[in-house]
Each structure stands twice: as C-alpha cells, then as structure tokens.
Amino acid sequence: MSRAAIIGTAALVAIVIVLPWLINPYVLQVLILTVSYSMLGLAFAFTLRVGLPRFDVAAWWGVGAYTTAMLMLKGGISFWLTLPIGGAIAIMLGWVIFKIVIPRGMMVFLLAGMVLTMATQQIFASLPFFGGWSGTGVIPLPKLGPITFADKKAVYFLGLVILAVNLLVYRAFSTSRIGRAWTAIGSSLGLASSIGVDVVRYRMANVLIGNFFIAVAGSYLVASTLVAIPTMFTFTNSINVMMYVIVGGIAHSLAGPIIGALVVTFIPEYLRMAKEYEPVVTSAAIILIIIFIPRGILGLTIPAFIQRRLEAARIRRKD
Amino acid sequence: MDLALFFQLVVNGLMSGGIYALIASGFTLILGVIQVFNFAQGQFYMLGAYVTFGVVTSLGLPYPVGVLAALAAMFLLGVLFHFVIVQWTLPHGFFHTMLVTVAFSTMVGQASFLTFAADQGLVDPVIPGTFNVRGITLNNGKLLVIGGAIVVMVALYYFMRTKIGTAMLAAAENKEVAQLQGINAKRIFWVTMAVGSGLCGVAGSLIVPVLSATNSMGMNAFIRSMLVVLIGGTGSMSGALLAAFLVGIVESFAFQYVGQLSLVAIFAFAAVLLFFRPGGLLGKPLPIPGQ
C-alpha cells in the first residue's frame, strides 16, 4: 500500500469509530439499518459474480431475524448462538429450494427469488406461531460479558464487526480457487462449463454462502430493533438491495454495496422537506444516477485511463 | 363441494387468469424483444384501471370509450417511458435497465397514491345482473372480463402475424441479423414497449367494473404474473396463456380454503410444476438473456 492509501484508510477508520458520538440517535438508528443493508448488498454482489441476481434477499433476512427472535423468546437461547443457527436454517431451506431453481437458469432464479420474498412474508404474517402481522414479542437485550446492547452505539460497533467479517470472508473467497471458478461462470457460462466447471454446483455453493450471511444480517437487525415484524421484510427491501449494488458501482463487489447502501438510504433522509413527494423525488434521482453515472459512485473515482483499460478488457472477454 | 360454488370459483379463477395472461404476455414480449425486465408492468395495469374509471365515472362517457382511452393512454405512456428513460440505459446492460424500471414503478406508484388515494375506483357494472344455468348463478361482469381477455389475446395473436409483429419476433431471435434484413430495430423497440404497456392498460380497464381500482393492485397482479411467466416458461407466449389460467384457478380455490396463504399455495404449485416441467409448460421459448 502506498503512503496516501494508508493515511486514507486510517482516516476512514477514525471517522467510522468517532461517528456515533457526532450524530443524533435517530441518524445512528438509520446508520445501524444501513450496516445491515450493506451486508445484504454484499451478498447480492457476491452472487452476481456467478451471474445470478438474487431477489430472495429479504426472505432469508427474515428467516435469520425470525430464527433469532423465536429462539430467544421461546427457547431462551443466547443471542450469539442464534446467529449461526439462523444461518444454518437459511442454508438448509435454501438447499431444498435452490435444488429445483438453480439448474433452470438465471431468469427462473430471478423470478423465483421475487416470489419467495412475497411468500415468506406471507407465511410469517399468516401463521399465528410467528405472531401474525404484529410480529414476535420484544426479545431480551443481547448480552456480551459486561456489555448489554441497550446502547445503540454498542449495536453499531457489533454491526461493524460483523460487516468486517463479511468483507474478510468474501475477499478470501474471491482470491481462492473456487472464487476463480465463480468469476469464470460469471463472465462466460458456456466457456466455464466447457472447461469442466460444474456450473450448478458452484452456483449452489455461492448462493448458500450468501444465504448464511444474509440470515446473520437478519439476526443482527433484530439485535437493534428487538422485534421481528413481517412488514420489515418486504419485496421493496429485496429490490432496494439491487439498487445499492448498482448505485455504488457494479464492478466493485466489496466497497460498492456499502457506499450504495449509504447513498440510497440517506437520499430519502435529506429529502424529508419534499414530504409525501419524497419517494417520487428519490426514484427520479435514482433514475438520473443510473442514466448519467452507469458505473456507479465508485466508478467516478477511478481515473479515466484505467477505466478505458478495464473497458477494453471487458470487451475482449465478451469476444 | 356443491356445484354452484365450484363453478363460481372456476369463473373467479378464469377472470383473474385472463388478467394475468394479458400482463404476462406483455411482459414476455418486452423481455423477449427488447430484453428489458419491465418492472413497471403492474403499474401500467393500475393506471389503465384508473384511466377507465376517470373517463367513465368523471366524464360520464360509455365504458367502451373508457377501454379505448386506457389503451391509448398506456400506449403513449409506454412510448414516452421508452424514449425518455429506458433507451438510455439499454447499452449498460440488463441489470441497469431493470433497475430504472423498478425506480419508475416506485415513482408511478407513489404519484398515483398521492393523486387517487381517496378515490374508490369502481365503475358501474357494464352488463348488470347474473347468468343462471340449472341453478348455478354466475356474475355477468366476471364473464365479460373473461370474454374481453380472450378477445384481446386473439387480437394479439393476429397482430403478431402482421408485418410488424413478425419483425418483432425476428428482432427477438437475433437483433443484428434482423437489422441486416432491413428491420428498423429502434422502431421495433418502441412499438414493443407500447404494445406491452397497452396490453396492461386494457387489462386494467377490463377489471375495473368488477374489482375497484386500488394502489396496490398493480404490484399484486405483477407478482402473480411473474409466477405465470415462471410456470409458462420464460419467453413462451402460449405457455404464459395456459399458465395464467392455471394460476388463476389454483389461486381462486386456494383463497377459498386457506385465505391469505393462497400466495404460498400457488408458489408451491409453481415449484411442483417447475420440478416436472423445467422448460415451461409448452413450446419453444423466445431467447432470453443470460440463460
């Protein structure tokens, strides 16, 4: 790393750590939500590498959240144990569903994801076991030694730790052998399968790893809201995740979703004066961003000559 | 189960099936020809219903004029949508285009919520009364929706056999080769978008004498149309038609017995069908990106 990069990283870390003391509690709450959204965005970008856009994000997010809430309420299990349990349940259910869906190709995966999101929300809302539309009861505060997570600052830092774990794991995967196979599938499906990459199995592995982290993000969300309600896991959530990835920069699978989630979540906050016209203005802003900055916000930071070389490489790959 | 209830459920299912068929075939057409995942499809349906409601109830014009007005308005909106928004994102790829249609759909949804929130959009029945055969009572309005949907589907069938319809199918098959044959791909694109939106507008105006126009109707119908496309095989128009009626009937029966969980029931139905018929119910589908 160059000296400028080290100084830049140090400054960024310092800002992220000091931030909770500088902003008011409401903004901190939105920021915590954004951390959870970032994890969803990372998972979306991760699966996009194998050429699959996932719109089932809110479904697994809800599975994680409901697992944590139900286990803590009915079983009295510690919050920390529910994180991996939620992830494991998301993997098992996902395996059964994706066994049918993944071999049918990208478009079926996309449509099935949308339907899955709607169906999951409907299941949580209709079954009395999950508490119906009013949601589960309020869960006890998670504890870690002397820290109880009553203070939102503690929840924020917990989120940063989980986010860091997410980033490290995704990074480790991207440079590994399996990561190279994923990239091969993403850039050319036919070519990858012709050199002996088992597309369905590799895609399945990728999607299930994503499932695990999405469910963990859901459990983390419950640590902040202390309750799981069906209306938290909507179709709109699933769609917004794609927005984070593209607005942040579709070529940047690690930093892009985080930046995108920040921008997309905070645009509406700054448009509060537009009152009920806020969603109209926000959507118009998103449309303008996509038309005029197709490479996303991080795409703006790359110098033009590197961008030209990347573009040339992309065109070569397509041929 | 008694026979009257059975037939009423079938008619309900065929009615919603007809609506899903119109929305899904417009969606499939746009996906196949322009390769745009048009998320705003449901909102065009909702707007179509409101246009008919406005023309018939506020202006006091006859219902057929309302249907034509909805068709024309959604046709124009589709053209505008294509020229102002969609065409600029086409070079950036599938996901960018899909995302602008998502944003447009949110925009239209909220704008219509602010405009029509208080309106109960129900048009007076066109043919009031009921239809009786051997003690089975069926609602005339619902039968009219089924008939209207079938008429529009037949019209679409013949439209796809005209010169411009054939050109659309050629462009769906291979854009470059179609252009070499002298087909103007740009014109084909906006015509496709307009036809797809117009189909939704007609669907909306057909349903509005039976079910009142609401803000959420667009999204609800869109989700079910996605299921239809999923079962019918992505890109297959005749498959979509068959799947639409199947989904409509299954949903209608499921709603009778499990209520709000009917969405889960049709989802399970779709999963089972997908398991046994991976390529869709019938036929060779249109080529779709990224298979």
Q: What is the CATH number of the domain that holds A85?
A: 1.10.3470
- B107 in contact with A, Cβ within 8 Å: yes
d(CA B91, CA A61): 33
Asked if the structure places residue B221 within a domain, the reply is: yes
Nearest to B205 by CA among B283, B286, B144, B250: B144
Closest CB to A104 among B100, B263, B274 = B274
Contact between chains at A286 and B103 (C-beta distance less than 8 A): yes
- Quote the distance between the C-alpha of residue A189 and its chain's center: 24
Asked if the structure places residue A8 within a domain, the reply is: no
Each of the 319 residues of chain A gets a pLDDT tens digit; together they read 577 778 877 888 888 888 888 888 888 888 999 999 999 999 999 999 898 999 999 999 999 999 999 999 888 888 899 999 999 999 999 999 998 888 878 888 888 898 889 889 888 988 888 888 888 878 888 877 777 777 888 889 999 999 999 999 998 988 888 988 898 888 888 888 888 888 889 999 999 999 999 999 999 999 888 889 998 898 888 888 998 999 888 887 788 899 899 988 888 888 877 777 888 888 888 899 888 888 888 877 766 666 666 666 666 655 4
Asked if the structure places residue A89 within a domain, the reply is: yes
Would you say how long chain B is, in residues?
Answer: 291
Q: Contact at 8 Å (CB) between B130 and B139?
A: yes
- B272 in contact with A, Cβ within 8 Å: no
Contact residues on chain A for B274, CB-CB shorter than 8 A: 100-101, 104, 108, 112
ipTM field: 0.83
The CA dihedral of B220, B71, B62, B213, to the nearest 10 degrees, is 10
How many structural domains compose chain A?
A: 1
Retrieve residue B15's tokens.
């009615």
Asked if the structure places residue A252 within a domain, the reply is: yes
Give the pLDDT score at B291. 43
Asked if the structure places residue A15 within a domain, the reply is: no
Beta-carbon contacts of A130 under 8 Å, excluding residues fewer than 6 positions away, are A66, A70, A123, A124, A136, A230
Return the residue of B nearest to A109 by Cα.
B230
Closest CB to A114 among B88, B223, B260 = B223
- Residue numbers of chain B with a pLDDT score lower than 50: 283, 286-291
Could you tell me the maximum CA-CA distance found in chain B, to the nearest angstrom? 61
Retrieve residue A97's tokens.
């569903």
Asked if the structure places residue B176 within a domain, the reply is: yes
Cα distances (angstroms) measured from residue B143 to each of B13, B152, B207, B256 = 11, 14, 11, 19
Region of residue A47 (phi > 0: left; psi between -120 and 50: alpha; otherwise: beta): alpha
Contact residues on chain B for A118, CB-CB shorter than 8 A: 223, 263, 267
Retrieve residue B127's tokens.
């043919």
Asked if the structure places residue B147 within a domain, the reply is: yes
Contact between chains at A242 and B106 (C-beta distance less than 8 A): no
Retrieve residue B46's tokens.
């909702």
Q: Contact at 8 Å (CB) between B246 and A112?
A: no
In the three-class reduction of DSSP (H, G, I as helix; E, B as strand; rest coil), residue A4 is classed as helix
Asked if the structure places residue B289 within a domain, the reply is: no
Asked if the structure places residue B180 within a domain, the reply is: yes
d(CA B209, CA B67): 11
Give the gap in angstroms from C-alpha B60 to the nearest C-alpha of chain A: 31
Contact between chains at B230 and A122 (C-beta distance less than 8 A): no
Q: Contact at 8 Å (CB) between B24 and B255?
A: no
- Quote the distance between the C-alpha of residue B184 and its chain's center: 26
Q: Contact at 8 Å (CB) between B167 and B189?
A: no
Strand partners, A148: A143
Contact residues on chain A for B99, CB-CB shorter than 8 A: 242-243, 246, 286, 290
Asked if the structure places residue A7 within a domain, the reply is: no
Asked if the structure places residue A2 within a domain, the reply is: no
Nearest to B132 by CA among B121, B143, B122: B143
Asked if the structure places residue A131 within a domain, the reply is: yes
Q: Contact at 8 Å (CB) between B14 and B41?
A: no
- Alpha helices of chain B — where are they, by DSSP H? 3-33, 41-53, 63-81, 87-89, 94-116, 140-159, 163-173, 175-180, 185-207, 217-232, 237-258, 262-276
Closest CB to A290 among B89, B110, B230 = B89
Name the pTM for this structure: 0.86
Encode pLDDT of B74-93 as tens digits. 999 999 999 999 989 988 88
Other C-beta atoms lying within 10 Å of the C-beta of residue A313: 10
Contact between chains at B85 and A287 (C-beta distance less than 8 A): yes
Please, what is the Cα angle at A97 between A183 and A221, to 5 degrees? 80
Contact residues on chain B for A106, CB-CB shorter than 8 A: 289-291
Closest CB to B226 among A104, A115, A189 = A115
- B90 in contact with A, Cβ within 8 Å: no
Cα distances (angstroms) measured from residue A43 to each of A139, A213, A236, A240, A251 = 26, 7, 17, 13, 14
Domain of residue A73: give its range. 29-318
What letter represents residue B147's amino acid?
G
Asked if the structure places residue B281 within a domain, the reply is: no
Asked if the structure places residue A67 within a domain, the reply is: yes
Q: What CATH number does residue B21 fall under?
A: 1.10.3470
Which helix (H) or strand (E) element contains residue B139?
A: strand B136-139
Strand partners, B137: B132
Asked if the structure places residue B288 within a domain, the reply is: no
**Taking all residues of chain B, what is their mean pLDDT, rounded to a whole number?**
85
Domain of residue B119: give its range. 3-276
d(CA B68, CA B66): 5
Asked if the structure places residue B90 within a domain, the reply is: yes
Retrieve residue A3's tokens.
């000296």
How many structural domains compose chain B?
A: 1
Retrieve residue A24's tokens.
């008011």
Sign of the dihedral defined by the CA atoms of residues B71, B74, B80, B85, in that order:
negative
Give the DSSP per-residue string, A44-67: HHHHHTTT-----HHHHHHHHHHH
- B253 in contact with A, Cβ within 8 Å: no
Give the gap in angstroms from C-alpha A19 to the nearest C-alpha of chain B: 31
Other C-beta atoms lying within 10 Å of the C-beta of residue B275: 12
Q: Write out the residues of chain A at the interface with chain B, using a CB-CB cutoff of 8 A.
A: 48, 51, 53, 97, 100-101, 103-108, 110-112, 114-116, 118-119, 122-123, 125-126, 189, 235-236, 239, 242-243, 246, 250, 276-277, 279-280, 282-284, 286-287, 290-291, 294
Nearest to A107 by CA among B236, B30, B290: B290
- B151 in contact with A, Cβ within 8 Å: no
